[in-house]
């Protein structure tokens, strides 16, 4: 299995694009979020649209869903097909009614719901989804913006992918110590205050053995100033591609 970062920047970063990723799992290619810069990134990487099999939505900020409209229109009209869209039950109504309906609804052609554009798979809380035999995703509800549902991902029981979250050391400790998590992609706000994100300063309080498993993403344009100041953690870089086989990362 492989993961490629379409972007590694924060919501407002201009240099590194939005933090979105593409997982390649035995012939099934799954986008983790599709933010405003995702389609441009796919284009720059020469990844053809028809190689994308599905997209998983972690939460409803534009840097995570801003590309879903283009993806919907282009899969429908250019490719004449639907791809899978994994959406948490709690995100569904808002995703359609308040984010996408205004432009995707087309009474003339009878397109009246998300299901007219995507093969929608509604995921319940605490439901682990078997996307394919080799790719299992467990959504973990995490705190980001108060009152707004947000789900980080625990993939194949060893890989934690944060979906923008306020620092939660208990969760990271528990995943690391009790659940065999050997790889963590974590959002990282470089400058204070963090408010709805985890800051570098907070991540630096984690024990060294956890830091060694952490790759930092969702950072601001001034990231280069922080190279060498991230303890045992390393920055992911835009368009970086990494093998994420269980063998390597399961402790």
Which residue's CB is nearer to Zn ion, number 11 or number 216?
A: 11
Q: Strands 135-141 and 129-132, how do they pair? A: antiparallel
Shortest distance in whole angstroms from residue 11 CB to Zn ion: 5
Shortest distance in whole angstroms from residue 160 CB to Zn ion: 16
Which residue's CB is nearer to Zn ion, number 63 or number 75?
A: 63
Which residue's CB is nearer to Zn ion, number 64 or number 76?
A: 64
Quick note: the x/- pattern for Zn ion over 61-80, rule CB under 5 A, is x-x-----------------
Establish if 11 lies at the interface with Zn ion (CB under 5 A).
Answer: yes
Which residue's CB is nearer to Zn ion, number 76 or number 218?
A: 218
Binding-site size, Zn ion (CB under 5 A): 4
Shortest distance in whole angstroms from residue 180 CB to Zn ion: 27
Shortest distance in whole angstroms from residue 10 CB to Zn ion: 7
Shortest distance in whole angstroms from residue 64 CB to Zn ion: 6
Sheet holding 151-155, edge to edge: 129-132, 135-141, 151-155, 159-161, 183-187, 214-217, 234-235
Task: Work out which of 164, 184, 186, 238 binds Zn ion, going by CB under 5 A.
Answer: 164
Which residue's CB is nearer to Zn ion, number 198 or number 211?
A: 198
Please, are residues 138 and 152 in contact by the beta-carbon 8 Å criterion? no
Query: Interacting stretch for Zn ion, rule CB under 5 A, among 98-106, 107-115, 156-164, 220-228?
Result: 156-164
- Distance, in Å, from the CA atom of 22 to the CA atom of 241, rounded to the nearest integer, reads 9
Which residue's CB is nearer to Zn ion, number 63 or number 69?
A: 63
Quick note: the x/- pattern for Zn ion over 34-63, rule CB under 5 A, is ---------------------------x-x
Give backbone dihedrals phi and psi of 171, rounded to 5 degrees, phi first.
Answer: -65, -45
Establish if 215 lies at the interface with Zn ion (CB under 5 A).
Answer: no
Which residue's CB is nearer to Zn ion, number 176 or number 215?
A: 215
Shortest distance in whole angstroms from residue 208 CB to Zn ion: 27
Neighbouring C-beta atoms of residue 74, cutoff 10 Å? 14
CB pairs under 8 A, 24+ apart, for 10-14?
10/63, 10/187, 10/189, 10/197, 10/218, 10/219, 10/220, 11/61, 11/62, 11/63, 11/218, 12/220, 13/219, 13/220, 13/221, 14/221
Q: Strands 214-217 and 183-187, how do they pair? A: parallel
Using CB under 5 A as the criterion, which residues of the chain lie in contact with Zn ion when the complex forms? 11, 61, 63, 164
């Amino acid at each position: 299995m492989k993961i490629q970062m379409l972007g590694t920047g924060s919501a407002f970063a201009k240099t590194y694009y939005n933090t979105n990723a593409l997982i390649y799992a035995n012939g099934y290619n799954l986008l983790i979020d599709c933010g405003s810069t995702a389609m441009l990134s796919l284009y720059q990487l020469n990844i053809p649209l028809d190689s994308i099999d599905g997209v998983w939505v972690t939460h409803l900020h534009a840097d995570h869903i801003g590309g879903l409209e283009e993806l919907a229109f282009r899969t429908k009209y250019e490719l004449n097909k639907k791809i899978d869209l994994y959406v948490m039950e709690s995100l569904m109504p808002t995703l359609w009614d308040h984010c996408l309906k205004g432009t995707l609804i087309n009474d003339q052609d009878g397109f009246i719901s998300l299901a007219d554009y995507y093969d929608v798979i509604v995921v319940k809380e605490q439901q682990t989804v078997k996307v394919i035999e080799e790719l299992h995703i467990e959504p973990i509800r995490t705190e980001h913006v108060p009152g707004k549902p947000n789900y980080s991902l625990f993939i194949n029981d060893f890989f934690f992918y944060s979906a923008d979250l306020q620092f939660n050391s208990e969760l990271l400790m528990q995943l690391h110590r009790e659940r065999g998590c050997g790889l963590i992609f974590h959002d990282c706000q470089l400058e204070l205050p963090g408010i709805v994100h985890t800051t570098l300063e907070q991540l630096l309080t984690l024990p060294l053995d956890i830091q060694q498993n952490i790759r930092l993403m969702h950072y601001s344009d001034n990231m280069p100033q922080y190279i060498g100041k991230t303890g045992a953690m390393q920055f992911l870089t835009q368009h970086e591609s990494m093998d994420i086989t269980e063998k390597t990362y399961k402790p």
